Amino acid sequence: MISDIDHDTLNDALRRCGATWDASQAHGLLSSRLALAGADAGVDWLQQVLEGTEESNALRTECASLLNTLYRDTHRQLSERLSEFAPLLPDDSDSASLRAGALAHWCEGFLHGLVSVDHGEALKQRLASDPLADIIRDMLQLTRAAVDEDGDDETTEAAYAEIVEYVRVAVQLTYEELAEFRDPAAASSAEASNTLH
């Protein structure tokens, strides 16, 4: 992901300030919340990720600053349909098992963001229809991602890269599919239109 924030820096900051979310989970959560609420997602997301941390703690302030930068970068990438969007994951120099675990956490955060908000009937129907229903099923499978210890490194790396690319594109598609729900007037209009037919 092209951002001023890297996975390890944010992960360490979250751990130091006492947050229960890790960097990948937090970015997954942010990505789905942005798809549902657009720019309005930022404040609630920040509060959720930092829930239980001490507001007067300087470490929390540092962490909030990193999260705000991540929010701005991710919102810009999704809203401007930039191809540089990618899930926030450990560097390729980290072990395959660590990266697979982080990818599973990223997908957990993404799914949590989709299911833990109030859903109107129109949104429920959209999430239950393809392509979003397929994406949700696939992400659920990926929450159980693990490395085949008997596989060779080249095959493992190729499979990992393919899955990360799938997730990257799936998030952008989710953002497009939920466009009308980021605009309450459009969502109401769509629901009224569905009722009439």
Residue 58, phi then psi, degrees to nearest 5: -60, -30
- Which sign, positive or negative, has the C-alpha torsion 66, 75, 134, 112? positive
* Beta-carbon count within 10 A of 188 CB: 13
- Which sign, positive or negative, has the C-alpha torsion 171, 177, 178, 183? positive
From CA 170, how far away is CA 173, in angstroms rounded? 5
Q: Could you report the per-residue pLDDT of 99-152, keeping only the tens digit for each?
A: 999 999 999 999 999 988 777 888 989 999 999 999 999 999 999 877 777 677
DSSP 90-146: --TTS-HHHHHHHHHHHHHHHHHHHHSS---HHHHHHHHSTTHHHHHHHHHHHTT--
**Residue 52: left (phi > 0), alpha (psi -120 to 50), or beta?**
left
Residue 41, phi then psi, degrees to nearest 5: -75, -20
**What is the length of the chain?**
197
The pTM of the full predicted model, rounded to 2 decimals, is: 0.89
- Which regions in the chain score pLDDT beneath 70? 1-3, 150, 184-197
* Beta-carbon count within 10 A of 124 CB: 10
Taken in order of first residue, the domains within the chain and their CATH numbers are: 7-186 (1.20.120.740)
> Would you state the pLDDT for residue 3?
61
